[in-house]
Amino acid sequence: MRHALALAARGRGAVEPNPMVGAVVLDAAGAVVGEGWHQRFGGPHAEVHALAAAGERARGGTLVVTLEPCCHQGKTPPCTDAVLAAGVARVVAAMADPFPRVAGGGLARLRDAGVVVEVGVSEAEARRLNAAYLKLLATGRPWVHLKWAMSLDGKTATRAGDSQWISGPESRQRVHELRGVVDAIVVGRGTVEADDPALTARPPGPRAPTRVVLTAAGRLPDRCRLRDTARAVPVLVFTAAGNEGRIAGWAEEGAEVVALPAGEGGLSVDAVLAELGRRRMTHVLVEGGAAVHGAFLDAGAADELHVFVAPLLIGGAAAPGATGGRGVEKLVAALRLGEMTAAPSGADVYLHATRTAGGVSS
């Protein structure tokens, strides 16, 4: 099962909004005779690849798979049909699939056909692997990654706004790799005005993320790289109802402008995520700045953090930090992170943490 989970992870960025799935086939004597993973959205599932590789050697053997085989006709035929046709005697699944058209039906069909079924092997690891898929199914909201680079004293720019570059080239390359596997990159108006970012993955990854800009007031630069490239790479601008006209020029040049509810603190983060979830976006990367990061933290919407700490001391009370917003008054209310790791990234340190230990955030 550990090998099947490693195979499944190879589909990251290529299969979403489908889950990552890996499969291994053992013959009747217990030898590995086939393996596979879900390689791209709309393509054959992991079980089909693994069973095809095993051929007749699968008959009487065991299929080890990280997620319950599907039992419905989607973009591909039901995997349960392939399992039964292969003559597999036993199926070991890490977890059931909560997708409504499966939801235990695949396992039940296999049991009814006389296949021995076991569920729950390495389930925690399987849930961790597909936490974003599970969250989208359960809440209709995508998995939210927050990313920033900062100095050792927690500054993301100097008091004059100079921020390029705090992190080193190795860290920036990691960010480009992350961009290449997400569905959207979110920034606020301040980042567009200060940095004029392109928000693309260089070199391109398996996904080409939509660039998302939040501006409740509907105020953005007349010219910038996002607007100039909106016809080539999608740009989605969220603004408060009634302010769409202020950025009509962006729409005329290819950006999609969508009005959302807004309050005193700006756009509703939940409304932003609900709209992205409606578009079946699974992973969303929030790149800031501080006000946007703070808004997502205040809304309890951060699932995973990517923080690059550079060996710099910037100082200055007026130099910005990584997060703004209201924050918390008492430490007991602070967001507690699990599974935090630290790794070298050139001269920097890359800190990675998730909100929960392998579950779906609330």
199 assigned binding-site residue: yes
191 assigned binding-site residue: yes
What are the angstrom distances between the C-alpha of 12 and each of 34, 245, 286?
21, 38, 18
149 assigned binding-site residue: yes
Helices marked H in 203-266 — which ranges?
A: 225-228, 248-252
Cα gap 122→210, rounded to integer Å: 34
91 in Cβ contact with 83 (< 8 Å): yes
294 assigned binding-site residue: yes
Exactly one of 16, 47, 68, 304 is catalytic; which is it?
47
289 assigned binding-site residue: yes
233 in Cβ contact with 208 (< 8 Å): yes
Q: What is the dihedral of CA 52, 54, 56, 60, to 10 degrees?
A: -120
Tokens linked to 333: 């209310």
Cα 361 to chain centroid, rounded: 13
For residue 56, give the DSSP letter: G
179 assigned binding-site residue: yes
Query: Which residues share a beta bridge with 341?
Result: 352
CA gyration radius, the chain: 23
45 assigned binding-site residue: yes
79 assigned binding-site residue: yes
Angle formed at CA 161 by CA 330 and CA 239, multiple of 5 degrees: 70
Is 47 annotated in the active site?
A: yes
Beta strands in 55-152 (DSSP E): 62-65, 90-93, 116-119, 143-151
Residue appearing with tokens 């910005």: 320
Q: What is the dihedral of CA 48, 104, 109, 125, to 10 degrees?
A: 40
71 assigned binding-site residue: no
290 assigned binding-site residue: yes
Indicate the residue type of 33: V
Q: Which residues are known binding-site members?
A: 45, 70, 79, 149, 163, 165, 179, 191, 195, 199, 202, 287, 289-295
Active site residues: 47
The annotation places the binding site for substrate at 163, 179, 202, 287
Binding annotation for NADP(+) = 149, 165, 191, 195, 199, 289-295
